[in-house]
Structure 1
Amino acid sequence: MTRKFFGTDGIRGLTNSEPLTPQTALIVGQAAGAHFLRGDHRHRVVIGKDTRLSGYMMESALVAGFTSVGMDVVLLGPMPTPAVAMLTTSMRADLGVMISASHNPFCDNGIKLFGPDGYKLSDEAEQAIEARIEDNPKLAKPEMIGRAKRIDDARGRYVHHAKSTFPERLRLDGLKVVLDCANGAAYHVAPEALWELGAEVIPIGVSPDGLNINASCGSTHPQHLQETVVASGADIGLALDGDADRLVVVDEKGNLVDGDQMMALIALDRRKRDQLKGAVVATVMSNLGLERRLGETGIAMVRTQVGDRYVLEEMRRSGCNVGGEQSGHIILADYSTTGDGLVAALQVLAALVDSGKAASEVLRQFEPLPQLLKNVRFNGGAPLENETVKKRIAEAERELEGRGRLLIRKSGTEPLIRVMAEGEDQALVERVVDEICEAVQAAA
C-alpha cells in the first residue's frame, strides 16, 4: 500500500498545504483515535507541541478529531518529543502525539504518533491509520464525546525524569554550560534541568515567538553557540533542535562535536561500567572512524538506513542500548523510547565531569575519515533516474571502490537529494561529491 500521508518520521509538510491542513489534522485525529479504541476503558491521548505559530491551529484540529471519536485528550503544551513519549507511558495513555517539524523552519509542521508503549508507530500501524482515513472513521455518540484537559505539571515531570538519568554521585557545580534551545520545545525544561544539577547555564535560543524556531540557532545552526562558548569562556556548549530529540555539542575551543563522537564516548563509558548491551547501532551515514574506534575495543557496530526509527527498530530487535545518528539523534534505550537531546547531553556532561578533563580531550574519541555531505534541492521529478546522473554515480563508485564509500539518498522529509562520500583521500571525496551534485542540479 502506497502511503499518502506518513513519511519517514510521521506526517510533515508546509503548514496550510496538504497534508498539513487543519482539515487533514482533524481526520488524522479521528483515524488514529479510532485505531487505538481498544477495550472498554476510557481512552486517552497525550498531545505535546513545539513553539511554532501553527501549533495552536494543529492542536485544536487534532483535539476535535480525537474527542469526536470518543478519546479524552491531555494537553501538555510546548514539550520535547521524548517528553511526550515518556508521558504517554507514564499517564497510561493509549496514544501520544507530538506536533512538530523537528529541525525544519517555522513554516513547516508535522504530526508524530506514539503507541501506548511510547514507541513511534510501525509502518503497519501507520498504514492501518491511513486506511481508516479513507473509510471515514465512525464518530462517537453525543454522550461518549471525549473531553480535553491541559495539565500544568508536565514540565516538572519531564525534568525529574531527565535528571534521574544523571549519576547520583555527580554534580555539575562549577561547570559553565552554554545551552542553545533553538527557540523550540525545550526552552524551559533544558535550562531548568541543568541548573538544578548545579551548572552555571548561559541560555540562548530561549525566546520563542512562533516564527523563530530553528532560525539561525539550534543544532542545525550552531555558529552562535560556538561564538558564545568561546566568548564566555564556557566549558562546553550544547545545542538542541526544535523538538529537542537531537543534540550537537561544542567543546571549549568552539569545535563542533557530532553524534558519532557522542556515541563513541557514551558507548565506551558504558562498556567501562559494564553497562553496554550488545552492539552500537548507527546508520549508513556514520563515519567509518567510529566503526574502527569501537572495533578496537571489541564493540561491534551495526548500520541501518537513515532515520532514528530504523535505529530504534534494530536496537529493539537485537537488545542493544546505545544507538543513534551522526546528526545528533542519540537513543539510550535504558532511559527513553526515542531520541532525547537532553538525556544525551546529561550523559555527555557526566562523562566530562567524571574525567576531570577539558571537553576537547574527552569529546574527541576518534579521528574521522574525510567525509563530505551536500544537499541538492529539486523541484519535482526524479533526478536520480536521470541517465547522466546514474552514469556519474556509477563512475564515482568505481573511483571509490576499495578506498571509500558513496551514499546517495532522497530525503524523507524535504525535497532534497543527499550526496555523501567518505574515504582516505579528501580531494577525491570532494571531487566526486561536487560532480554528482552538479549532475543532479542539471537534471532537477
Structure 2
Amino acid sequence: MKYFGTDGIRGKALVKLTPELAFKVGQSLKPVINPKMIIIGGDTRQSSPLLGLSIANGAMLAGIDVLYCGITSTPMLAHYAKVNHALGIMITASHNPFTDNGIKIFHNETKLANNLEIKIEDFIDSNEIIKSPTYGSFRFVDDVEETYLKLYNQINMTQTKFKVGYDSANGANYLIAKKVFDVIAPNSIQIGNTPDGLNINKGVGSMHLESISSLVKTHHLDFGFAFDGDADRLNLVDQNHIYDGDFIVYMIGKYLKSKNQLPNNKVVLTKMSNPGMLEALSNLGIGYTLTDVGDKYVLDAMLKEGLVVGGESSGHILLTHLIHSGDGLLAATYLLSILTELNMTPEEYTKEVKLYPLKTINIPNVSKDSINHPKVINVKEEVLEMLGDKSLLLLRPSGTEPLIRLTVSHENSSLVEKAIETLRNVIEEVNR
C-alpha cells in the first residue's frame, strides 16, 4: 500500500507525514468508518502534537467529536478508546528516531483492517474535503491514566525482592512506568526518563539494549526492562543475557500452563521465531501457531483460536486476558510478579531453552520482487530441503528500503552460513 505499512502510517515527520496528510486522515474517518467520536494521543516526539491536532482538525470539520489525551503510551490510548467505545488514534513512530512519526488507528479493539486502510488511502489521494453543517467538538481529557491503572488490579502487585531497572526510551511511558514500578519495585532505577522532543529512542530503549545492560551491570541489578518509544514493546536483560519477545512469551506461557490457565496449551509467535525456542515450547507440551511478522497478525490468530499469550521476537507482547493490545509495561509487571512468586530469575526459569544459531543479513540494492523470481524460488526450495524441518528460512522485502532481508536458523551453524551464501548469490544474480 502507498501509506500504510504493517503498523499504520509511518514516515519522515513533516516531510512525508505532513500536517496536510494528517488532516486528510482525520477527514477520511467520516466516510470510511463514520465514528461519532475519536480519541487522539501521542508520544514525546516534537512533531506529535502538530500531527495529532491536524487529524483533529480534519475530523472536526467532518463533524466528528475529538477527545485529546496529549502524551500517552499506545496501550493506554488503545485501552481508553476501548473503554469509551471510540476510535483511537495514536501519533507515534514507535522505536524509530524523533525525525520519523506515524499514525496508528485502533478500530473495534484492534488495529485497522486492511480493507479500511485501502479506503483511507483512496480518500487521502482524492481532492474531496468534507465540511459538516455541525462542527465536531474538542475536549482535553485527564482520566486516561486513572482508567489504565485499573488494569493492574488483575495482577498480584506485591513488592518484589529483585533489584530491577527499566528504560523508558525517553518516550511515552516515562511517567506511568515510574508510578507502576514505584509500587512493585520501589527501589528500582529508571533511565530514559528525560524526554525533550528530540531524544526519543536515542541511545536508549528496546533498540539500544546496551543502555539497560550497562545499568544492570553497573548497579549489580538482577535484571532490567527496556521499552520502546510508544511503550508497546518490551525486552529483558540480566547480567549475561538478552531475553527477546519470544523468551517473554515462553516464560509467561510456561507459567500459565503450570497453573492450567493456558487455553489449549498453545501460544502464538511469528515465522521469525528461533527453532530452538519452538523446540523448547514443544518439550513443555505447549503448541504454537506461527504468523507473519506484525503484532496485528499475532492478535488476529489469538482471537481466532481463543488464545491469551502471543508475541514477536521484537518485543511486542500480547496478553489478551489482561488487555486487548500489546503493552510492554503491563507485560513487564506481569512477568515480574511471576518471577517474584516463583522466586526465580529469568536465567533460572529459561535454563532449558537452547537457541539455534540464527543469522539475518540485508541484501541491498535489489528489486523486492526478486523473492518471486522462478530461479530464487527454486533455490529456496532446495535450501529448505537441505535444512530440514527444524529450521527457519525467511525472505522478506523491506517496507521502507530497496533491500531484502534474509534470515536463516539451524542447529548446525555451517549450514546457516551455506544457506545464507547460496540465497544471497542467487538474489544478486537475478538482479544483474
Q: How many angstroms apart in 2 are the aligned matches of 1:72 and 1:331?
A: 30
Q: Which runs of 5+ in 1 are unaligned?
A: none
1:103 matched to 2:90? The reply is: no
Q: Paired residue for 1:329?
A: 316
Q: How many angstroms apart in 2 are the aligned matches of 1:284 and 1:71?
A: 40
User: Is contact 2:368–2:402 with CA below 8 Å preserved after alignment?
Assistant: no
Q: Paired residue for 1:30?
A: 27
Cα 1:104–1:389 shift into 2, 3 Å: farther
1:73 matched to 2:66? The reply is: yes
SS of the residue corresponding to residue 186 of structure 1 reads: coil
SS of the residue corresponding to residue 4 of structure 1 reads: coil
User: Is contact 1:287–1:368 with CA below 8 Å preserved after alignment?
Assistant: yes
Offset at residue 386 of structure 1 (A):
7.0
Offset at residue 65 of structure 1 (A):
0.8
Cα 1:364–1:209 shift into 2, 3 Å: farther
Q: List per-residue Cα deviations over 1:98-122 (Å, max 9, x = no partner).
A: 111111121111111011x321111
Q: Paired residue for 1:126?
A: 117
Offset at residue 389 of structure 1 (A):
6.3
SS of the residue corresponding to residue 200 of structure 1 reads: coil
Q: List per-residue Cα deviations over 1:397-429 (Å, max 9, x = no partner).
A: 454245633111113355552211011111321
1:53 matched to 2:54? The reply is: no
User: Is contact 1:378–1:441 with CA below 8 Å preserved after alignment?
Assistant: no
Cα 1:76–1:430 shift into 2, 3 Å: farther
- Match of 2:343, as an amino acid? G
User: Is contact 2:21–2:124 with CA below 8 Å preserved after alignment?
Assistant: no
1:153 matched to 2:143? The reply is: yes
Cα 1:209–1:121 shift into 2, 3 Å: same
SS of the residue corresponding to residue 195 of structure 1 reads: helix
1:86 matched to 2:86? The reply is: no
RMSD of aligned C-alpha atoms? 2.5
User: Is contact 1:174–1:199 with CA below 8 Å preserved after alignment?
Assistant: no
Q: How many angstroms apart in 1 are the aligned matches of 2:426 and 2:14?
A: 33
- Match of 1:66, as an amino acid? A
- Match of 1:110, as an amino acid? G
Q: How many angstroms apart in 2 are the aligned matches of 1:13 and 1:434?
A: 32
SS of the residue corresponding to residue 224 of structure 2 reads: strand
User: Is contact 2:23–2:54 with CA below 8 Å preserved after alignment?
Assistant: yes
Q: Paired residue for 1:420?
A: 407
Offset at residue 87 of structure 1 (A):
0.3
State the aligned residue count: 430
Q: Which moved more, 1:342-351 or 1:286-295?
A: 286-295
Q: Which moved more, 1:297-306 or 1:368-377?
A: 368-377
User: Is contact 1:12–1:413 with CA below 8 Å preserved after alignment?
Assistant: no
Q: List per-residue Cα deviations over 1:174-200 (Å, max 9, x = no partner).
A: 332110111111111112111122432
1:207 matched to 2:194? The reply is: yes
Offset at residue 365 of structure 1 (A):
5.0
User: Is contact 1:183–1:208 with CA below 8 Å preserved after alignment?
Assistant: yes
- Match of 1:5, as an amino acid? Y
Cα 1:378–1:65 shift into 2, 3 Å: farther
Q: Which runs of 5+ in 2 are unaligned?
A: none
User: Is contact 1:59–1:99 with CA below 8 Å preserved after alignment?
Assistant: yes
Cα 1:385–1:268 shift into 2, 3 Å: closer
User: Is contact 2:357–2:413 with CA below 8 Å preserved after alignment?
Assistant: yes
Q: How many angstroms apart in 1 are the aligned matches of 2:316 and 2:206?
A: 11
Q: How many angstroms apart in 1 are the aligned matches of 2:301 and 2:131?
A: 38
Q: How many angstroms apart in 2 are the aligned matches of 1:145 and 1:379?
A: 49
Q: List per-residue Cα deviations over 1:255-291 (Å, max 9, x = no partner).
A: 1011111111101111111211132111101112222
Q: How many angstroms apart in 2 are the aligned matches of 1:407 and 1:328?
A: 19
Offset at residue 135 of structure 1 (A):
5.1
Q: How many angstroms apart in 1 are the aligned matches of 2:403 and 2:149?
A: 36
Q: 1:139 aligns with which of 105, 130, 155?
A: 130
Offset at residue 152 of structure 1 (A):
2.4
Offset at residue 431 of structure 1 (A):
4.4
* Aligned-residue identity in percent: 37
1:256 matched to 2:257? The reply is: no
Q: Which moved more, 1:376-385 or 1:418-427?
A: 376-385
Offset at residue 388 of structure 1 (A):
8.1
Q: List per-residue Cα deviations over 1:44-66 (Å, max 9, x = no partner).
A: 11111111111122112111111
Q: How many angstroms apart in 2 are the aligned matches of 1:69 and 1:206?
A: 38
- Match of 1:8, as an amino acid? T
Offset at residue 378 of structure 1 (A):
4.3
Q: How many angstroms apart in 2 are the aligned matches of 1:330 and 1:152?
A: 27
Q: List per-residue Cα deviations over 1:75-132 (Å, max 9, x = no partner).
A: 1112111111100011222x100111111121111111011x3211111222233344
TM-score (norm 1): 0.89
Cα 1:223–1:430 shift into 2, 3 Å: farther
Offset at residue 172 of structure 1 (A):
2.4
Q: Paired residue for 1:10?
A: 8
Alignment of 1:193-232 (within 5 A): 193-232=180-219
Cα 1:313–1:389 shift into 2, 3 Å: same
User: Is contact 2:368–2:403 with CA below 8 Å preserved after alignment?
Assistant: no
- Match of 1:404, as an amino acid? S
